[in-house]
C-alpha cells in the first residue's frame, strides 16, 4: 500500500508509543551533573566509542581502557585552575564516573545507564548484549558505525533542508526591506504627480503600504505560529498530526520517511545481530524512532510477533512500509539471517537518502533563484513603467 494511503496516516492513537525517556532497560540512580550533557556532541560520543573498541580489541582491560580515554579527553588547551589542576571537559568527567562504577564491580552497561542524557537505550542495550556474549569490542564498533551513519545522514538531510529555508528567509527579508524602505520613497513621486499609474505600480504601492502598516503584526503572527507549533508538538495528539503532515510534505516527506526507515532497520538489525531477543530489540527500536506514526507501526509489528506472526508478515500488515522491505525480511527469515536483511535494507535507504538530497539541492537552487529574480523583476518593472509613460508624454 502506498505511504500516503496507509491507514496509519489517517487516524492514529499513539498512546502505545514509548518515547525515548520512558522504560529504560536498566534501573539505578542517575549521576548528578546531567546539565552538562548537552555539550557532548554525537561525533564526540562516536569517537569515544570507537576508541574504546580499539583499546579493548588490542587486549587492554576495561578499567585501564576507560582510564586512558579519560586522560585523552582532558583538553590540553584549557588553562590550569587556581588549584593547579586542569578543568575537566564534560565527557572526560563522565568517563571517569563510568570507570569508577565499573571499578567498584558494576557492569559497563549499568554504568552507562546512569547517564541517560548521553547514552540512549539502544547504546546501553547493545553494550549489555556485548558483555553477555563476550564480544564487547565488536559490539562497540557496531555502535560506532550506527552513530556515524546517523550523523552523516542527518547532516545531509539538514543541509538539504537548511539551504532552501535560508534562501527563502533571505529572499523574504530582502523583499520586506524593499517594500518597507526603498519602494515608498520612489513611488511617492509618482503619487504626487496625480497621474493614472499602471496596474503593476498600483499593486506594488498597495503591497508596500500593507507591509509598512502591518509589519509588526505579521512578525507577531509568525512568532506566535512558531511557538504554537512547538507547544503542539509536545502533546501526543499534536505530535501525531504534525508527524502525519511531515510525511505528506512534497519532496521532503518521502526523504524523511526513508531516513526514519533506514534508522529503524539498521537499529533493529544491529540489536538482533548483537544477540538480543527480537521482542526486546523491537521495544528498543520503537523508542529510538522519532516519528510517532512509524513508532506506532513498530509497536504493532512487535505485538504481532508476540502473538505468533513472523516479522515479514507483521511488517506487511501495517501497510506503512514499501514491499521491498518485507520481501527482503522474508528472504532473510528463510535463510535464517534476518539481521543481515535488515541491515541491507538500511544500506538501500541510506543510498536513496543521499541520492534524494543531491537531487533536491540541485533542483531547489535554480527554483529559488528564479523565484527571487521574478520578485525583483516585478518590483523593477513596477517602478520603471511610470517612468516610461512620463518620458512618452514629454
pLDDT, tens digit, 9 for 90 and up, residues 109-130: 899 988 888 888 888 888 888 8
Q: What is the mean pLDDT of residues 258-269?
A: 87
* Residue, of 367 and 11, whose pLDDT is higher: 367
Query: Would you state the pLDDT for residue 200?
Result: 86
Phi/psi region, residue 87 (left: phi>0; alpha: psi -120 to 50; beta: rest), is beta
Residues of the chain with pLDDT > 70, as a percent, come to 86
Other CB atoms within 10 A of residue 297 CB:
25
Domains of the chain plus CATH, in order, are 8-23+145-394 (no CATH), 25-77+85-115 (1.20.81.30)
DSSP one-letter string for 183-198: HHHHHHHHHHTT----
Grid coordinates representing 157 are 538531510
Where is pLDDT greater, at 26 or 311? 311
CA 277-340-326 angle, to 5 degrees, is: 85
Q: Which residue has the higher pLDDT, 42 or 36?
A: 42
> What is the arithmetic mean of pLDDT over 289-298?
86
Q: pLDDT digit string (tens) for 226-246?
A: 888 778 777 777 778 888 888
- CA-based Rg of the chain, rounded to a whole angstrom? 28
Cell numbers of 374, please?
A: 521574478
The reported pLDDT for the residue numbered 75 is 52
Q: What pLDDT is stored for residue 89 in this prediction?
A: 65
Query: Rounded to whole angstroms, how far apart are CA atoms 280 and 283?
Result: 5
33, pLDDT greater than 70: no
Q: pLDDT tens for residues 325-351?
A: 888 888 888 888 888 888 888 888 888
Alpha-carbon gap, residue 277 to 144, rounded angstroms: 21
Higher pLDDT, 51 or 23: 51
Average pLDDT over all residues of the chain: 79
Nearest C-alpha neighbor of 271 from the set 283, 258, 260, 255: 283
Residue 19 has pLDDT above 70, yes or no: no
Structure confidence by residue, pLDDT tens digits, 65-104: 999 998 888 755 444 444 445 555 678 888 999 999 999 8
Greater confidence (296 vs 20) lies with 296
Q: Is the pLDDT of residue 5 over 80?
A: no
Higher pLDDT, residue 33 or 368: 368
Backbone angles phi, psi at 351, to 5 degrees: -65, -40
For residue 11, pLDDT beyond 60: no
Question: What pLDDT sits at residue 26?
Answer: 41
pLDDT of residue 18: 36
Instruction: Supply φ then ψ for residue 290, to 5 degrees.
Output: -90, -30
Confidence of residue 10 (pLDDT cuts 50, 70, 90): very low
Compute CA distances 274 → 15, 81, 320, 340, whole Å. Answer: 29, 43, 27, 12
User: Which carries the bigger pLDDT value, residue 378 or residue 190?
Assistant: 378
CB atoms within 10 A of CB 347: 13
If one compares 20 and 203, the residue with the highest pLDDT of the two is 203
> What is the 3 state secondary structure string of 85-139?
CCCCCHHHHHHHHHHHHHHCCCCHHHHHHCCCCCCCHHHHHHHHHHHHHCCHHHH
The whole-model pTM stands at 0.68
Amino acid at each position: 500500500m502506498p505511504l500516503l494511503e496507509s491507514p496509519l496516516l489517517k487516524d492514529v492513537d499513539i498512546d502505545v508509543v514509548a518515547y525515548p525517556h520512558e522504560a529504560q532497560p536498566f534501573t539505578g540512580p542517575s549521576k548528578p551533573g546531567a546539565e552538562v550533557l548537552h555539550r557532548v556532541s554525537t561525533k564526540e560520543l562516536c569517537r569515544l566509542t570507537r576508541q574504546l573498541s580499539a583499546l579493548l580489541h588490542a587486549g587492554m582491560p576495561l578499567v585501564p581502557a576507560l582510564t586512558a580515554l579519560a586522560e585523552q579527553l582532558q583538553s590540553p588547551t584549557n588553562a590550569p585552575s587556581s588549584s593547579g589542576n586542569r578543568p575537566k571537559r564534560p565527557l572526560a568527567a563522565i568517563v571517569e564516573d563510568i570507570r569508577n562504577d565499573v571499578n567498584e564491580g558494576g557492569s559497563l552497561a549499568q554504568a552507562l545507564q546512569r547517564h541517560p542524557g548521553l547514552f540512549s537505550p539502544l547504546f546501553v542495550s547493545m553494550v549489555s548484549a556485548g558483555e553477555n556474549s563476550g564480544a564487547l569490542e565488536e559490539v562497540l564498533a557496531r555502535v560506532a558505525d550506527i552513530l556515524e551513519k546517523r550523523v552523516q545522514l542527518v547532516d545531509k538531510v539538514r543541509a538539504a533542508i537548511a539551504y532552501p529555508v535560508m534562501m527563502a528567509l533571505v529572499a523574504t527579508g530582502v523583499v520586506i526591506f524593499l517594500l518597507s524602505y526603498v519602494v515608498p520613497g520612489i513611488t511617492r513621486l509618482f503619487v504626487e504627480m496625480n497621474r493614472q499609474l499602471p496596474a503593476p505600480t498600483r499593486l506594488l504601492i498597495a503591497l508596500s503600504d500593507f507591509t509598512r502598516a502591518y509589519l509588526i503584526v505579521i512578525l507577531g503572527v509568525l512568532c506566535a505560529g512558531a511557538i504554537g507549533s512547538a507547544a503542539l508538538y509536545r502533546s501526543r495528539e499534536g505530535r501525531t498530526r504534525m508527524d502525519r503532515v511531515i510525511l505528506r510534505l512534497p519532496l521532503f516527506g518521502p526523504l524523511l520517511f526513508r531516513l526514519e526507515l533506514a534508522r529503524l532497520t539498521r537499529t533493529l538489525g544491529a540489536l538482533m545481530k548483537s544477540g538480543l531477543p527480537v521482542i526486546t530489540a523491537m521495544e528498543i527500536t520503537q523508542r529510538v524512532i522519532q516519528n510517532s506514526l512509524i513508532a506506532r507501526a513498530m509497536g504493532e509489528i512487535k505485538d504481532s510477533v508476540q502473538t505468533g506472526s513472523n516479522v515479514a508478515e507483521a511488517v506487511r500488515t501495517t501497510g506503512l512500509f514499501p514491499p521491498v522491505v518485507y520481501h527482503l525480511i522474508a528472504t532473510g527469515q528463510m535463510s535464517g539471517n534476518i539481521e543481515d536483511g535488515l541491515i541491507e535494507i538500511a544500506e538501500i535507504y541510506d543510498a536513496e537518502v543521499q541520492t534524494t538530497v543531491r537531487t533536491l539541492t540541485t533542483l531547489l537552487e535554480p527554483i529559488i533563484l528564479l523565484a527571487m529574480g521574478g520578485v525583483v523583476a516585478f518590483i523593477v518593472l513596477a517602478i520603471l513603467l511610470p517612468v516610461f509613460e512620463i518620458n512618452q508624454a514629454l
